[in-house]
Amino acid sequence: MKVLVAGYGNVGKAFVKLIFEKKGKLEELKDIEIGGIVNRKGIMVGYKDQFTVDIEGDVFTAYEKIKPDIVVDTMSANYKDGNPSLSLYKLALKDGTSVITTNKAPLALAFNEIMGLVGKGRLGFQGTVMSGTPSINLLRILPGSEVKRIRGILNGTTNFILTMMYNGQPFESALKEAQRLGYAEEDPTLDINGFDAAAKLTILVNFAMKKSVTIRDIKFTGIQGIKGAYDGHKKVKLIAYADENEIEVSPKVLTPEDPLYHIDGVENALEIMTDIQTTIIRGPGAGPINAAYGAFSDLILLKRNFI
């Protein structure tokens, strides 16, 4: 089975590395071949794990030339219109080619349109929410239950900053430390203003609660302007929340009785309440290796016909 990797930044490189590291150990990878990789310079092809730029062109040129069985999208998010990823997904799924993605934008903008094309071509998107910590794939194994409420900490950057602030640092110095450690981008706007968490919540509610919403429908408030609210044992956390009546991202003051109170640093957590039970998962929600593992786990599950 030929895989086309679209995007070759840190996540794309980590994904390809995982393939070659695990290839001799997992039955599901024995027939997997990296048919090509698209980066900003062109299309890279090669033999085994050696790739060089060989063909000029974009992801669509690569798709036509390589004719992959699976497209793995690790490209940067474009929240304006979702492209080129959104158009690539439509093309691939209509052809019966499967798609695995770590790119939130297409699903945050057009989740139900994309899902409507899933058939022979399947869709894996664990890497879009909590990276490699199984949020989407956990929801796949709750058959027959009805998700009533979702509540979580879905952005590691803001959680790190709020943890630093709880420990006495002002917002600006906490943000600079997050940038120094690589947790925050040079322009951290989409994290700080709550947009990133809202995009993840959009994907979750569409998938788990059968909603029909886009990122444009989600109310979100970020952490800019927060001064304190750390009296006693209380902590402020940026909470993504959805139930039958409300979908929003906003800062909330939590007490120690709340399980999300104890999620600190860049860790993420998700509380899923169904008509049967409540489940809480926690784990790393960012970083190239974790995001790559999200895509890698989808590939294994796809080969097992679980997706």
The residues near 168 (Cβ < 8 Å, ≥ 6 apart) are none
Cα–Cα distance for residue pair 97/1, rounded to 1 Å: 11
- 52 and 62 in contact (C-beta within 8 Å)? no
What residue numbers does the annotated binding site for L-homoserine cover? 185
Please state, as a whole number, how many other Cβ atoms lie within 10 Å of the Cβ of residue 77: 18
What residue numbers does the annotated binding site cover? 7-12, 104, 185
What residue numbers does the annotated binding site for NADPH cover? 104
Side-chain half-sphere of 160: how many Cα atoms within 13 Å? 24
Among the options 200, 235, 237, 303, which is catalytic? 200
- Start-to-end CA distance of the chain, whole Å, equals 16
Cα–Cα distance for residue pair 6/43, rounded to 1 Å: 9
The pair of three-digit structure tokens given for residue 48, joined into one six-digit string: 């085994």
Is 219 one of the catalytic residues? no
Q: Give the pairing type, strands 219-220 and 2-6.
A: unpaired
- 11 and 288 in contact (C-beta within 8 Å)? yes
Cα–Cα distance for residue pair 57/26, rounded to 1 Å: 33
Question: Which residue shows structure tokens 């310079």?
Answer: 41
What residue numbers does the annotated binding site for NADP(+) cover? 7-12
Per the document, the length of the chain is: 307
272-306 burial, b for 16+ CB within 10 Å, e for fewer?
A: bbbeeeeeeebbbbbbbbbbbbbbbbbbbbbbeee
Alpha-carbon radius of gyration of the chain: 20
Cα–Cα distance for residue pair 302/262, rounded to 1 Å: 34
The residues near 179 (Cβ < 8 Å, ≥ 6 apart) are 185, 186, 188
Active site residues: 200
